[in-house]
Chains A and B, each alone.
Chain A
Amino acid sequence: MQDYRIKEGLNACINCGTCTAICPAAEFYRYDPRRIVDIVQHQDDAQIEELLKSDTIWYCGECLSCVTRCPRKNAAGLIIMALRSLSIQTGFFMESEKGRQMYLLCKDLNSNILNYGYCVYPRTFKYKEHQEAGVVWKWEEEHLDDIFERLGGNLDGEGAGAMRKIPQKDLDELKKIYDITGATQMLENVRAAGLKKAEELGLTEEEYAKKLYTESSNKHFNH
């Protein structure tokens, strides 16, 4: 693996398990970062391929708490990120339930970035899909323009300020960055794989997206 995150994140793991002990994901999911680092360190191609096809690599929350505590200065989180990139490049991400969620993540986050210049954009952050955001967000959603005006923001406005409209020239530059750094190709591949899966399941694109967003097997959990 040529990923810089492997070079940065793996320096002779001693298998002490500190990363697993500190890991928020390991408490919630059936997940053991120590084991993953061990497999990568042993460079067993068959086991690595199994990982790339598994749900396991998608359990990490990328908080990188593991980095602080590792006595060898390893970064299990960075190794996971490299494995995820490889899983997407090879198409193995489609073999697992959590991997297939890439279709939605790529679609939602990148449409915000390429259309508005933000990862999170309040007009696309819907209460219906985020009821945990509370009844206060339901109210905000109904009065976004008034609330941003009240709080000194600049929602979709010209010039600088909170949630300003980012000029089209700048959005065009982001798109060019996507084109030359492989993001555009990656998004097309992930989308095509998702649509193919939807067709196999006899679902429309919308039905497939809803399935990915809402359904989860119980097999993932620790308890």
Chain B
Amino acid sequence: MIYEGKQKIWADYQKEIPEDHYFYVRSCIRQSFFPASEVTFLDITRNKLGKDIFETEHHTTCGGIAYHSDAIPQETAMTIIARQFALMKKYGYENYVCSCITSFGLYCETMETWREYPELQEKIADNLWKSCHLEFAKPKFLVHASDLIFKYRNQIAAKSKYKLVNVKTGEPLRVVEHIGCHYSKMFPSKGVGGAEYPYVLVGMVEAWGGQIIDYPERRHCCGFGFRQYMIQSNRGYSLSNTHKKFESMEPFKPDMIITNCPGCPYFLDRWQYVIAETEGKTYGENGHGIPVFTYEEVAGLVMGYDPWDLGLQTHQVGVEPLLDKMGIPYDPAKKYLGKNGKNIGEPEKPHCLK
């Protein structure tokens, strides 16, 4: 009886993710700070797995960061979103995949509000026509790009060169997964596994050989807070929340962190640097930080991409301890080179963080 009850609850969080044919929309933060992650996503899905993932240069920001910083009205954000959806229809797609969790949450909020208030949807459709002369449309399926990597996780595992396993001990790597609040906290049924037990990253880590760490502040926000980061004098909010998470995960000795949202890896990486430089505290082994990755970067490492092609040199927390554990070869001399070996200097060394 109890088992059946659990199955029923779990059934609410099974997300239908079509196999193929998607209209792809990029993320402002992922493009800015992790451009190679989006390149890797498209290379894996299109070239390694043969999927049809279409992109047009005509899509823009969804406006999500401005909306959640209260800097544009809800109606403005909704009309920008309607424009994105209309472009999907114009190019002949009905499945929509976005690279950003803020966008994903805002799309869910918008579509749910339209469903409940058809008169608002009608107004937005009218706004869209008046401003852009585009026909209103909604996706048949809305997914986040990590949903697709989750769906393809076993195909990726089948093509893998490396596993999330410590090659020296043979033990699974200890992985912290961080989902990003707007993936499923607002609309649990829209995310793989819901809000309390999201499975989107756990599924990847398990398929690729790692072991998930559970820790008290696992579901706590990374601390972005939109306006709480954008304005320097509010930034203590952001730092404090990241600090709370690291203090909570530290006793469990994570080897790495995998993230879902494009903002979270930036904050979890950079605030470790700030904590190290200001307080002398580091959370990894021997003065290192805990390396933080996007899910595309982890998929790329597992599949044997060169770490520097994945852009791991643009992280502030060094990734080498993790590469060594996985047995991934890398050339330190090539870490900071530009295209075709161009010398573009290299970053200064942090004072405390190794």
Query: At the interface, yes or no: A91 with Cβ under 8 Å from chain B?
Result: no
User: What separation, in Å, do the CA atoms of A68 and B240 have in the docked complex?
Assistant: 22
For B226, the chain A residues whose CB sits under 8 A away are 61-62
With beta carbons under 8 angstroms apart, the residue of B244, B346, B350 that contacts A134 is: B350
Tell me how far the C-beta of A85 lies from the nearest C-beta in chain B, rounded to whole angstroms.
7
Using known A-B contacts A4-B117, A63-B221, A183-B76, determine if residue A129 contacts B339 with beta carbons closer than 8 Å: no
For B112, the chain A residues whose CB sits under 8 A away are 8
Query: At the interface, yes or no: B28 with Cβ under 8 Å from chain A?
Result: yes
Chain B at the A interface: mostly helix, strand, loop or mixed?
helix
Using known A-B contacts A62-B226, A75-B186, A117-B60, determine if residue A24 contacts B220 with beta carbons closer than 8 Å: yes
With beta carbons under 8 angstroms apart, the residue of A28, A104, A121, A152 that contacts B35 is: A152
Chain A at the B interface: mostly helix, strand, loop or mixed?
helix
Considering the complex, give the chain B residue whose CB is closest to the CB of A165: B57
With beta carbons under 8 angstroms apart, the residue of A136, A174, A180, A182 that contacts B60 is: A174
For B144, the chain A residues whose CB sits under 8 A away are none
For B69, the chain A residues whose CB sits under 8 A away are 105, 109
With beta carbons under 8 angstroms apart, the residue of B39, B79, B347 that contacts A181 is: B79
With beta carbons under 8 angstroms apart, the residue of B32, B105, B230, B349 that contacts A108 is: B230
Query: At the interface, yes or no: B228 with Cβ under 8 Å from chain A?
Result: yes
A176 engages B131 (CB within 8 Å): yes
Query: At the interface, yes or no: B326 with Cβ under 8 Å from chain A?
Result: no
- Which A residues form the contact surface with B (CB < 8 A)? 3-5, 7-8, 24-25, 27-29, 58, 61-65, 67-68, 75, 81, 84-85, 88, 98, 101-102, 104-106, 108-110, 113, 117-122, 125, 129, 132-140, 142-143, 146-153, 158-167, 169-171, 173-174, 176-183, 186, 212-216, 221
9 closest A-B pairs (Cβ-Cβ)? Answer: A61-B225, A153-B35, A139-B347, A134-B316, A216-B233, A119-B65, A162-B35, A152-B39, A176-B131
Q: List 26 A-B contacts (CB under 8 A).
A: A24-B225, A62-B68, A63-B221, A63-B225, A64-B181, A65-B185, A68-B196, A81-B70, A110-B71, A113-B63, A113-B66, A119-B61, A119-B65, A132-B239, A132-B273, A136-B313, A149-B338, A150-B338, A159-B57, A163-B31, A163-B32, A166-B57, A181-B73, A181-B127, A213-B233, A214-B233
